[in-house]
Structure 1
Amino acid sequence: MDKKKQIFEIISFTADDREYYPASMEHENWMPDNFVKHTEIDIALGQSRYGGPIVDLPPGVQYPENLRFAAQLDLSKFSPYDKSGLLPKKGQLIFFAEIMNDTGKVIYADVANEELVRTTKEHEDNFYTGILIDKIYTDTETLEERYEEPEDEDDEEELNEQDEVWNYFSGCEKSKIFGIYTNCQLQEEEIEEVAFSDKVVLLQIGENGFNDEGVFSVLMPKEDLKNLNFDNYEFIWAQS
């Protein structure tokens, strides 16, 4: 089969239309109407979200030093859309990161939401605002979708056999689990190498209401995910 036509099953998700920021911050003129203080939004324990000052941790787990809360996934909401069966059926995946040096930590805990302990850590660093995850659904994608017709003569130098060019920014608009790695800084061969390797996209937060310009990704070996071993992963921030 042509690799470009291979279908990748993914779990896509969308952003809530509100964005919340630390209540200790002053409201700035640049903030749009959908920006609210974190004390003005109702967030259930364990509710899936991206960034912000609020994280719900398993009992006895401390907020990691030198990292920022990046995301929290309620797996009971995501696993029904997982055709691969790789994700745990329930529990929490919690991500902390420092995108300036591509480091981080992933915590998996099979803990009921009502047992989680809410921790609030207000700051003005990366991930200081938060966005709730809204809709979750099954989707598919192919490498073929990342090619397009050339727009100008300069593009013609990079034509493939189908007279198309690689779109470096294709895929940036998606937030998902699994599928094709997205990094607008990489050549198509580098993206293909990851896509057909033993790595999986454990998390991608894209530009569909979450990030303005950039994609946050977490990669890990597929076998480690099967074995619930969350010690080996890569954190990547790809500025678009």
Structure 2
Amino acid sequence: MHLNHLAALLLTTLCTVATVEAAEVQVAVASNFTAPLQAIAADFEKATGHKVVAAYGATGQFYTQIKNGAPFEVFLAADDSTPARLETEGDTVKGSRFTYAIGTLALWSAKTGYVDDNGQALKDNAFRHLSIANPKVAPYGLAATQVLDRLGLATQVKDKIVEGQNITQAYQFVSTGNAELGFVALSQVYKDGKLTSGSAWIVPARLHDPIKQDAVILGKGRDNPAATALMDYLKGPQAAAILQAYGYQR
């Protein structure tokens, strides 16, 4: 009886330790980082036992949700200004913010051969619809408007622009044929060094402000070991390899 009681106590202790060691982390993820984060999360779970529970959306909308008490513990934004703002406003763990990726903008069409390596299709202005993400809430959308301004095309294409709520919706407008071409995150159409479909112009970085994407631990993740572990993992070599495969810089 005594041995059975001891065995039961030991089992309970082991289960408690396992529960403490393996935790979940609620992560708000910019839409452009959907595919890379899914790959990173799978590797992270195998390596650490921690589980990533991710929500994907526009950075600006996540800001509003976080300010309204959403249960996110880590924020992987599509810019550096939104996490910095949350930091200034006291909603993050100080010292946790860092740039996890530098994004690349692409002009993409689902049609093979429609967009050449110099983006001439944009300058020719023969299309009916140009898809971009909402520049007020999506940094890739803002970058797209900067490209149009710097190329002197903003006025000419103004009436042809269709706005997606986020970069995922901007991509969907093009992939479904509702827009002949659009500005998307390269990571949405690129893997292992090549396009996954259609045709694209990788937009030169000089045509828009750098798309520095920052990560930060939010106040709700302060005492969650999985939040800290995820941030450490994002800085490591396994995550770096995945980032590179999807066309991100570090």
Common fold: TM-score over 0.5: no
Larger radius of gyration: 2
Hey, which of these two has a bigger chunk of strand by percent?
1
Q: TM-score, normalised by structure 2?
A: 0.21
In the superposition, the TM-score normalised over structure 1's length comes to: 0.21
